Structure 1
Amino acid sequence: MTEPSTPPTTPMADLLLHPIRWRVVQRVLGREVTTTDLKHDLPDIPATTLYRHVAALIEGGILTVVRERRVRGAIERTLTLDQATTSARIEVDEARAMTPDQHRRGLLLLLTQLTADFDRLVERGDLDSRLEQFGYSQASLYVDSADLDSLREGIKALIEPYLQAAPGKDRITWSMFSLPDT
């Protein structure tokens, strides 16, 4: 009797559907950060593990090294992820190649990260002072494929001016989902 084969995963799915790499991408999203910043932002991840996953994200073309500088004999890299043309997403062809369990894992990673970000906000006691930047909602839309493409392009054009850091601007994480109704 032959064992059932596991469907092949896509390179992007392999990179992004890992909890540590997902957390790294979420921390870099919309910013330039050093590996030292990442160690500070993700203190529960051992440095060697963090560096290994950062290297995988660089090699996979998700993170880009924008600067390097020598600090106490070591090279410190500054990393970014270009949100306007981000490669840190799973395209339709790759999504088609994914199994239902891989899709579930991807959504679970996103929801886990959102929950962790919310918990940090609440634990710091910042929620009341930041309510104007906080919100969640859900709406049902009636669209066909062309409408959905148009909506996505419109949202992309709408948010593009806000993807880069600027003086006096706070960083927020804005997440959207589109799920077909059953």
Structure 2
Amino acid sequence: MDTLDLLVHPVRLRIVFAMSGGQTRTTSDLCAQLPDVPKTSVYRHVGLLAEAGVLEVADERRVHGAVERHYRLRGDRAAIGDDVAAAMSLDDHRRAFAAGMAAVLAEFNAYLDRPGADPMADQVGYRQGVLWLSPAELTKLIDQLRSVLRPVVENEPTPERSPHLMTAIFFPATRP
């Protein structure tokens, strides 16, 4: 399975999201974090990600006669590179976008289904608007966003920090 086919799947994207941040997790941990996904599916997708090297075994322990594997995300393998993106067809882009949106929707629904979910208190935001930008202005905006986000992207989990999923989408809109 190539990188595109491997990563362009809503459940595998959610596993990659869950594994972000440098921590290790077992497949059982992931099943608990993705309660809306059947356990057999989580195990199958973790196996595919591990076989492809996106997840690596960080530790193995014997638990009740079985081997429990603790996985770590290989960030360098968990993204579609520029070379692959440049070779993607329009249908590949359509499929990747749909998988990404399905993963975001599933994560948002899982958040809303948690006891005590409070979008206002949690500062949940989702807005859409049109920006009129020249190609140079768009490049500058993306560079500025990257420079703002770069310092926090590699934050390690701590008791004071909670994970936040951020999705930024830029594409040309139809002129009115």
Superposition pairs of residues 63-74 of structure 1, within 5 angstroms: 63-74=55-66
Letter in 2 for 1:19: P
Q: Does 1:147 align with 2:140?
A: yes
Superposition pairs of residues 128-139 of structure 1, within 5 angstroms: 128=118, 131-138=121-128
1:168 aligned to 155, 160, 166, which one?
A: 160
Q: Distance in 2 between matches of 1:129 and 1:19?
A: 23
Identical counterparts, % of pairs: 34
**Which structure 2 residue ranges, 5 or more long, are not aligned?**
none
Q: Does 1:19 align with 2:41?
A: no
- How far residue 37 of structure 1 moved from its aligned partner, in angstroms, is 0.8
Q: Distance in 2 between matches of 1:171 and 1:46?
A: 23
Superposition pairs of residues 104-123 of structure 1, within 5 angstroms: 104-123=94-113
Q: Distance in 2 between matches of 1:57 and 1:148?
A: 33
Deviations 1:41-82 (A, max 9, x none): 334555444333212212222112222111111111112225
Q: Distance in 1 between matches of 2:171 and 2:119?
A: 32
1:89 aligned to 79, 83, 104, which one?
A: 79
Q: Distance in 1 between matches of 2:118 and 2:58?
A: 36
TM-score, normalized by length of structure 1? Answer: 0.76
1:54 aligned to 46, 53, 67, which one?
A: 46
- How far residue 166 of structure 1 moved from its aligned partner, in angstroms, is 0.7
For 1:179, the equivalent position in structure 2 comes to: 171
TM-score, normalized by length of structure 2? Answer: 0.78
